[in-house]
Structures are given as C-alpha cells and as structure tokens.
Amino acid sequence: MPSIAGATPRIARAGYKDWGRCDLTFVELDEGTTVAGVTTQNICCSSEVELCRQNIKGGQARALIVNAGNSNAFTGRRGLEAVEAITSKVAAHLGCAKSAVFVSSTGVIGVPLPKVKAEAGLDAVFQAPPCSWEDATNTIGTTDTFAKGAVASAMVDGVKVNLVGIIKGSGMIAPDMATMLGYIFTDAAVEAPFLQQLLSAANSDSFSCITVDSDTSTSDTVLAFATGKAGNAPLGSFADAGADAFAAALRDVCLQLAHLVVRDGEGAQKFIAIHVSGATSDESARRVGLAIANSPLVKTAIAGEDANWGRVVMAVGKAGEPADRDLLSIRFGSTQVARNGLPVDGYDETPVAAHLKGQEIEIGVDLGLGTGKASVWTCDLTHGYISINADYRS
C-alpha cells in the first residue's frame, strides 16, 4: 500500500493484552485534514464512539489513536476518563485541539482501559519511527488472521489522488452503519460535508451489507481522512470536476475492505454472496438478504456443503418483508433450483453440490414483486467460530 502524503502511521506496544505484539497505532495527520465517519448503532457503545461522533461534527482531524486488546466499552466514568486522558496527551503533543483527535478501542468489553498503560504507550508511539500501512493494520487486529488493506486512485481535475484503507474485523460483525474498525486515508482535498456524504453513501453499499454472526459491536467505527496534499481543487459537490471518480474510488475501497472482513470471518471457510432482486424496494431487498445471510441454518448448511435450499425459503419468509411464496425463485450459482414457488422440473442437485464444494458461493433470490435489489455478503458457520469465541477472553 502506498504512503499517503500528510498521514504518518506509527505503532508501539502499550500492553493492553498479554499477546507479545504491538497494540497501539498512531496516525499523525497534517493540518488541514478533513474527516468524516460513521459509527455503530449499538446503544451500549463505548466512550470512544461517543467522542468520535462529537468530534466528526468539527470536520477537522490531526490524529488517530487505535487501541487493540481492550474495547473500553461498558466501563462508565473510568472509561471516559481514559479516553479524555489520551486525547489530552495527543493534543498537547501536536499542539492541536482535543476535538481533532480521534480514538478507537477494540477488544474485551467491560474492562476499563488502564490510563497508566495508555499514557506510557503514547510516550512510546510518539518516539516510534514511521511504519507501513500493513504494520498498522496488523496492530489494530484482534482475532483477525491476516492484515486487511485496500487501495484505489482517481483522477480529480487532472490530478491523481490516492486512497488507502485499513480495517480490522473478524467477529461481532453485523453492522447497522459500518464494520468493526476501518480507516481510509486519501491525499485528495475534500470538504468535510461532501466527504461525509460520500462516505455515508459508500457505507450503505458495503459495510452495511456484510454480516458474520448477526452481532453489532459496541465499538464499530469507520473514518475517512482527506489530507489535501495531492493539490487538487477541493471537492465540495458532485458538480466539481472529478467528484464522480473520487466517489467511485472511495466506494471501491469500502467494498474491498468489507469483503475482506467477511473472508476472514471467525472460523470461516466459504465466502457467500447473496443477490436479492424483485423486491418492493432496495432496502427491503437488503433486509431479505441479511435475513438469509444471518440464518445459522443457511450458514451451517453451506459449511456442510448441503444443497438444502429450503432453508433459503425459510429465511425469506421470516424476514418480515413483502414476499409471495408462489412468486419466489432461487438459484445456487448458475443453477436454478426453484421458480415461481416450486422446485424446477427435473432439478438435478449435482451441479449445486459441486458449487457448494468451492470457496466462493453465490445465492440468488428473486421475489417477483418489484424492481428493488441488493447484494449482501457473509460467510459460513463452522466449529471454528465456536472455538474462537468460547476462548476469546483467554
């Protein structure tokens, strides 16, 4: 992943968890960097999320701090004091307003973030040399099994701008807004309100369309930072030259990152794409798709490579969205298994069984009611998921 002018990542070890690796990421952002973000809809969110929401309103950023190993969620006043101590120390180091410092934490819920470790970790990371984005990505991970990053570029009014995205997430993934912790950095100049508009739109088609286990985290956050160092005329609306190209690049990065989270779902062996069409609206199609994607029966059938498409019928029917049993059509891969509420005449399960033996699974559902459509992505449910989460705190 290329460097982004105006964004300098560093890592260090604060010791939030005894795993013998760096767990603190610090990205220093040049003055003039704009920011946008989306955060979890989980009511029991962390103090980090609450302060992030507040700081986004200012539209300016000078630093990002990410702690791994302790989510600092459900920790009351002690948790808030820890975040305030972090923002104060970073702001003093950079000589900036505390509202320009963004903090995220991920890990075990219910354990206050130790201020002593936080402050010592900051002292270490301030002195650390700049690192690669891959190093930063590994540092923000918890149960992740590989570093997740994405890149894209766009021509904005004759100027090439670059985008880099890093993300962590493997379990507790069923966001109402975004995914676990994701950060996008670009050297483009983008005004904060327009960056927010673009990120919210990209999120709707990417992070808000993935699920691993139907659980929405207390800490989910996605932030986009635009340093403006590419030298393009600031983008403020779609009327500006290159705005469409930048929007497409941002959406591409978000979609790449979202897919990587699903591919690394805890215990996952198969990547599942679910395409729903014929719904009464796009949002209805999305809800039907997520009902299928979140069904343990569907996910375990695919894990077992069992062509039990009746479970898809069940999931459509329980979604609470407009559907008609006698208009429903289903396919696995390129094989139609049901049409207009009935099994296809002469249905042969052999090609479906062969499709399910692969790692890339596709399910198509046509409700036959309208023009609404959506795609969502998930993974299978295996014994590995149980093993990881049964031992998570240890």
Residue ranges of the binding site for substrate: 142, 168, 179, 266, 389, 394
DSSP 320: -
Per the CB < 8 A criterion, the answer to whether 271 and 262 are in contact is yes
Beta strands in the chain, from DSSP E residues, in sequence order: 7-12, 24-29, 34-39, 63-70, 101-108, 148-156, 159-168, 181-186, 221-226, 271-279, 329-332, 335-339, 342-343, 360-366, 372-379
d(CA 389, CA 173): 13
Integer angstrom CA distances of residue 136 from 3, 75, 317: 12, 26, 43
Say which residues have a Cβ less than 8 Å from residue 231's Cβ, sequence separation at least 6. Answer: 159, 189
Tell me whether residue 33 is one of the annotated catalytic residues: no
Question: What is the helix, strand, coil percentage profile of the chain, to 5?
Answer: 35, 25, 40
Annotated catalytic residue, options 25, 33, 40, 179? 179
Q: Which residues are annotated as part of the binding site?
A: 142, 168, 179, 266, 389, 394
Which residues participate in catalysis according to the annotation? 179
